[in-house]
Amino acid sequence: MEGLTTLLELDSDFIPTNEGSSLYIRPFIFASGNGFHASPADEYKFIIACAPSGSYFSGKVKVLIEQTYSRSANGGVGFAKAGGNYAGQFYPTQLAIEKGYNQVISDR
């Protein structure tokens, strides 16, 4: 949290102040040691990426509660912010958009 606080202080000029806008904050970590192998890494990099963002939607947002498809698989990493969790939502989101919705919330 200390690193995030320092980063936000340094980048305060980039934090949007318009209504509906935000600062997208994405912390992530990856293995950065030597080699590519199936074992725990001995070195990691921790990065916090930030980007100013406008509103994702204009006007009223219509949300569909999805009851068939799940963003995360049983036994998977749905509890974590992981890239693989996004792929499972593309198809049901497209179906929802075709029905006039802006976004999907999974009830699973």
pLDDT at 105: 86
Tally of domains in the chain = 2
- Residues 43 and 72 grouped into a single domain: no
DSSP string, 39-86: S--S-EEEEEEEEEE--SS-S---EEEESS--SS-TTSSTTS--THHH
Along the 108 residues of the chain, how does pLDDT read in single tens digits?
Answer: 899 999 999 989 989 998 888 999 988 888 998 888 888 899 999 999 999 998 877 788 899 998 888 766 677 776 676 777 777 788 999 999 999 999 888 766
Predicted TM-score of the model (pTM) = 0.62
Domain containing 23 — which CATH number? 3.30.470.10
Q: Which domain holds residue 101?
A: 57-108
Residue 6 is predicted with a pLDDT of 95
Residues 81 and 40 in one domain: no
Q: How many CB atoms lie within 10 A of CB 48?
A: 14
Predicted local confidence at residue 108, as pLDDT: 64
Sign of CA dihedral 80, 94, 97, 19: positive
